[in-house]
């Protein structure tokens, strides 16, 4: 079997979900990892058996490496991705593509000019839940989708991340941190967004970190942490989106689609798995839709941190001619929406400058 060689850049909090998650794909092989913090790189080597390499350039120089996976913090993405593209290797990055739409757009162009593929998380919509919802929409179960709601709320990072400072400064915030999951899920279902009206504010000015092994005690917040928006999709669907790190608990759905035939309720778009629920107008109760089994179901959905890797596998498959579903154009469009949501649109309805096509749905069939 022809294996695609992978180099991991950044061995922090999320990296374990990649080191472990990528072992599920026989055609992928992680051949090296690096981190500015050599201790973290060596710890990954010890734990996952992947050799630590001093720099990303050294990993990229290997003939058996085709894809570099960027797991650095959002504010580092612009610089790191530019360097990774310059090595000539293909790049998959964690979300968001970069910390702002303005810094991401030139990278997408640079990758195109260099003839390398730039792909990005989130890839969770490739999982069973995202693909089941997609089948429901494409098969007409919901009918014409008139409206959609999405509630992007707090991951409570203060409780579990040893240093969540990056979430409360430029490049962080609920829209850019958790919003990519919800927006990628919605664009996968409904297609691109045409315009955004959004307003946002700073919530609690100080956050207290209580995570075990924490490296910081408190964080001064410097960015808006609560946003509300109205989205108009190209399809005509109107969206109501709230993104907040100030909503700790709630009884709101993750996302719902309101169609001429019924309502579709999505599970947490941060996960690959989860039950998609549907209720036709004439139904007296909700029903659980049978899942499209995508092969990415890892049986660990109850974990706080689902195993990662389907997006890297998607990029690798595209090298053999499969359609790329997590491409940079899609991620850039999602980021343009999220940027507007994060910062507000100055009291006006902002027409977006980017668009994208809906990713190809999964080949697996829906046993309904
Ligand atoms: N933590 C999560 O649960 C989670 C979940 C999904 C996605 N993500 C995304 O994953 C990315 C990383 O998040 P994290 O929580 O693992 O952050 P982290 O701060 O825990 O780890 C990032 C690592 O990158 C290293 N690094 C920074 N610049 C580097 C460079 N130039 N070269 C090599 N290494 C470099 C840092 O030393 C650090 O070890 C972010 O984009 C985040 O949005 C995180």
Question: For residue 9, how far is its CA from the centre of ligand 1 (angstroms)?
Answer: 9
Question: For residue 73, how far is its CA from the centre of ligand 1 (angstroms)?
Answer: 4
- Residue ID of nearest Cα to ligand 1 atom 43: 95
- Of 124, 144, 9, 136, nearest in space to 65 by CA: 9
- Of 72, 95, 75, nearest in space to 84 by CA: 72
For residue 154, what pLDDT is reported? 82
Question: For residue 196, how far is its CA from the centre of ligand 1 (angstroms)?
Answer: 29
- Residue ID of nearest Cα to ligand 1 atom 39: 12
Question: For residue 32, how far is its CA from the centre of ligand 1 (angstroms)?
Answer: 16
How high is the mean pLDDT of the chain?
94
pLDDT at 109 over 80: yes
The proportion of the chain whose per-residue pLDDT surpasses 90, expressed as a percent, equals 90
pLDDT at 270 over 70: yes
**CATH numeric code, 124-293+327-351:** 3.30.360.10
For residue 67, what pLDDT is reported? 98
Token pair in block for residue 243: 């993104």
CA distance 364 to 35: 37
- Residue 302 binned pLDDT confidence (cut-offs 50, 70, 90): very low
Question: For residue 193, how far is its CA from the centre of ligand 1 (angstroms)?
Answer: 29
For residue 364, what pLDDT is reported? 75
Q: What is the pLDDT of residues 194-224, one digit of tens each?
A: 999 999 999 999 999 999 999 999 999 999 9
- Residue ID of nearest Cα to ligand 1 atom 14: 13
Token pair in block for residue 267: 């599970």
- Residue ID of nearest Cα to ligand 1 atom 13: 73
For residue 39, what pLDDT is reported? 98
CB 168, CB 177: distance < 8 Å:
no
Q: What is the pLDDT of residues 143-191, one digit of tens each?
A: 999 999 999 988 798 999 999 999 999 889 999 999 999 999 999 999 9
For residue 298, what pLDDT is reported? 47
Listed by start position, the domains of the chain span 4-120, 124-293+327-351
Token pair in block for residue 245: 């790190």
Three-state SS string over the chain comes to CCCEEEEEECCCCCHHHHHHHHCCCCCEEEEEEECCCHHHHHHHHHHHCCCECCCHHHHHCCCCCCEEEECCCHHHHHHHHHHHHHCCCEEEECCCCCCCHHHHHHHHHHHHHHCCCEEECCCHHHCHHHHHHHHHHHCCCCCCEEEEEEEECCCCHHHCCCCHHHHHCCCCHHHHHCHHHHHHHHHHHHCCEEEEEEEEECCCCEEECCCCCCCCCEEECCCCCEEEEEEEECCCCEEEEEEECCCCCCCCCCEEEEECCEEEEECCCCCCCCCCEEEECCCCCCEECCCCCCCCCCCCCCCCCCCCCHHHHHHHHHCCCCCCCCEHHHHHHHHHHHHHHHHCCCCCCEECCCCCCCCCCCCCCCCC
Phi and psi angles of residue 292, each rounded to the nearest 5 degrees, phi first? -75, 120
- Residue ID of nearest Cα to ligand 1 atom 44: 14
Mean pLDDT, range 34-47, rounded to an integer: 98
Q: Which atom of ligand 1 is nearest to the CA of 176?
A: 43
- Residue ID of nearest Cα to ligand 1 atom 27: 72
Pick the CATH number of 4-120 from 3.40.50.720, 1.20.120.10, 3.40.640.10, 3.90.180.10: 3.40.50.720
- Residue ID of nearest Cα to ligand 1 atom 21: 12
Question: Which of 72, 214, 304 should be mutated for ligand 1, with most atoms under 8 A from CB?
Answer: 72
Q: What is the pLDDT of residues 124-149, one digit of tens each?
A: 999 999 999 999 999 999 999 999 99
Give the contacts of 298 (CB within 8 A, at least 6 positions apart).
Answer: 21, 24, 272, 273, 306, 307
CA distance 331 to 243: 18
Residues in the ligand 1 pocket, defined by CB under 6 Å: 9-14, 34-37, 40, 71-74, 76, 80, 94-95, 305
- Of 10, 73, 5, 20, nearest in space to 298 by CA: 20
- Residue ID of nearest Cα to ligand 1 atom 6: 14
Question: Which of 7, 9, 11, 13 should be mutated for ligand 1, with most atoms under 8 A from CB?
Answer: 13
Mean pLDDT, range 300-325, rounded to an integer: 85
Question: Which of 12, 69, 119, 326 should be mutated for ligand 1, with most atoms under 8 A from CB?
Answer: 12
Q: Which atom of ligand 1 is nearest to the CA of 166?
A: 19
The proportion of the chain whose per-residue pLDDT surpasses 70, expressed as a percent, equals 96
CA distance 34 to 86: 17
């Amino acid at each position: 079997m022809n294996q695609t060689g992978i180099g991991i850049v950044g061995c922090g909090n999320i990296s374990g979900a990649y080191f472990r998650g990528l072992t599920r794909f026989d055609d992928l092989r992680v051949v090296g990892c690096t981190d500015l913090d050599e201790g973290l790189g060596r710890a990954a080597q010890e734990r996952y058996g992947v050799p630590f390499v001093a720099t990303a350039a050294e990993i990229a120089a290997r003939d058996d490496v085709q894809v570099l996976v960027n797991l650095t913090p959002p504010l580092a993405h612009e610089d790191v991705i530019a360097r990774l593209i310059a090595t000539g290797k293909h790049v998959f990055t964690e979300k968001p593509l970069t910390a702002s739409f303005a810094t991401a757009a030139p990278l997408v162009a640079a990758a195109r000019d260099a003839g390398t593929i730039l792909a990005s998380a989130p890839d969770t919509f490739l999982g069973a839940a995202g693909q089941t919802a997609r089948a429901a929409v494409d098969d007409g179960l919901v009918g014409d989708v008139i409206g959609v709601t999405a509630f992007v709320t707090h991951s409570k990072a203060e409780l579990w991340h040893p240093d969540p400072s990056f979430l409360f400064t430029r490049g962080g915030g609920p829209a850019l941190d958790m919003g990519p999951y919800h927006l990628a899920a919605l664009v996968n279902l409904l297609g691109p967004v045409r315009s955004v009206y959004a307003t946002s504010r700073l919530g609690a000015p100080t956050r207290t970190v209580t995570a075990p092994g924490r490296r910081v005690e408190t964080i001064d917040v410097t960015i808006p942490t609560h946003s509300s928006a109205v989205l108009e999709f190209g399809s005509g669907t109107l969206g109501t989106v709230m993104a907040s790190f100030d909503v700790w608990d709630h009884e709101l759905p993750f996302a719902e689609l309101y169609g001429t035939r019924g309502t579709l309720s999505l599970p947490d778009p941060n996960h690959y798995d989860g039950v998609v629920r549907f209720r036709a107008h004439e139904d007296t109760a909700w029903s659980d839709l049978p899942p499209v089994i995508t092969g990415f179901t890892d049986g660990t959905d109850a974990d706080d941190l689902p195993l990662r890797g389907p997006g890297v596998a998607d990029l690798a498959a595209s090298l053999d001619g499969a359609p790329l579903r997590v491409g940079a154009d899609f991620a850039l469009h999602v980021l343009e929406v999220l940027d507007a949501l994060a910062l507000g649109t100055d009291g006006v309805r902002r027409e977006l400058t980017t668009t994208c096509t809906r990713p190809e749905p999964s080949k697996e069939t829906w046993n309904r």
